[in-house]
Chain A
Amino acid sequence: MRGYLAGRMEAFDGLYAALASRLRAYLIALCRDAALADDLLQETFMQMHRSRRTYEPGRPVAPWVFAIARHVYLMNRRGSARRVRFLERVAAAVRAEDAAQDAARLLADVDAVRRALREVPADQRRALVMHHVEGWSFAEIADRLGIRLNAAKTRAFRGMKKMREQLK
């Protein structure tokens, strides 16, 4: 961990080799989905990298990393709940004009949302999906896309506006 804090890539490789399999097993136990656990494992290492200066030298690494992994899992679960709510909200908004819709119409709504989303410019669509569908915060989106916080908010807002226009 000291080597990693000093900026040595081989130290990161060593850390990954030592922790990845245990972390993956832990994440599988939490989410019961191997594919999702693999994604969460990568995100855990990214989050660990972003907050590496909070590690206190001399203390065991495992509790620190596992706490981050659990946090990543909980954030993902919260994002999933938000994703479900978002899809329900979009479907409800489309449904509002005609309350008595059947399942086929609902599928058509989802299809309409997909088509509307395709009409949104790529940069806006990316911010929109990352925030409203995947549950990332604007700060995290800005961090990941390498843009400013306000730019992330603006892109998501404009993307949503454009999508609503398409759905009308």
Chain B
Amino acid sequence: MSAPPELRELIARDLAPARPLPPPSTRALALVPIAAAIVAAVPLLHELRPDLPAIGALRAFGFSIAQAIAGMFVVAAALRESVPGRQWTAGQLSALLAGGLALPAILPGFAASAFDVAPRAQGAAVIAVACFRTSALAALPALAAASVLSARAFPLRPAVAGALYGLGCGLIADAGLRLWCEFSAPSHVLIAHVGAVILSMAVGVAAALVSRRR
């Protein structure tokens, strides 16, 4: 079976050598400096968590770095999703999303001195808003970079790719936030921390859909 002449003509007209994109894991490495800057910037711009002497640097920094690395893995998964023929199955996707969302919900309990360290009742809303805003804003630079990396490939399911890189960037931002916020009460963690990660996912979906239409 040979190609029709009109198709051959169209292809021949535009047949310049094309350099293939590097593998998704290599492309995700481009985000390492941004991720490191985000994790470092949150405690630098605010302050280190006050219970750092009590929990020790290993627990504080160790869990944050582990979460940031997990975020990078999720971004790499998004970049893999953006390559035709390498999409994740429904089961793999569910595991990635559930695991990714579980991290910011569970890790604060292990990183804090107790599982229910809560802000004082009268200041709880202000602190929750500050955490939510800081995490959501901190995710934006990584989101912008991940969106460009994903769009340079050919995501056949842009919403899925966007949700994944939004989740990854949300995890990276939350990893920085953990170096500032010492609270581990479920109400605070779910609303301010997991909520910000979910917002980051929604922004990722919107960015992927917009970049696909353009």
Q: CB within 8 Å of B: which residues of A?
A: 5-9, 12-13, 16-17, 20-21, 24, 42, 45-46, 49, 51-57, 59, 63-68, 70-71, 137, 139, 149
Contacts and interface: CB of A to CB of B under 8 A. Distances in A.
Contacts of A12: 3, 8, 11, 15
Which secondary structure dominates chain B's binding surface? loop
Contacts, number: 90
Interface string B4-24: 100110111011111111010
List 3 A-B pairs, minimum CB-CB distance, nearest first. Answer: A63-B85, A64-B85, A7-B17
A42 B9 CA distance: 12
Contact of A17 (B2, B12, B14): B2
A64 B4 CA distance: 22
Contact of B23 (A46, A56, A68): A56
Given A5-B18, A7-B15, A12-B15, A42 B4 contact: yes
Contacts of A70: 156
Nearest to A55: B20
Nearest to B23: A56
Contacts of A57: 20
Given A20-B1, A67-B87, A71-B84, A7 B11 contact: no
B7 A67 contact: no
B154 A54 contact: yes
Given A53-B20, A54-B84, A137-B213, A71 B1 contact: no
Contacts of B154: 51, 54, 68
Contacts of B11: 9, 12, 45-46, 49
A68 B84 contact: yes
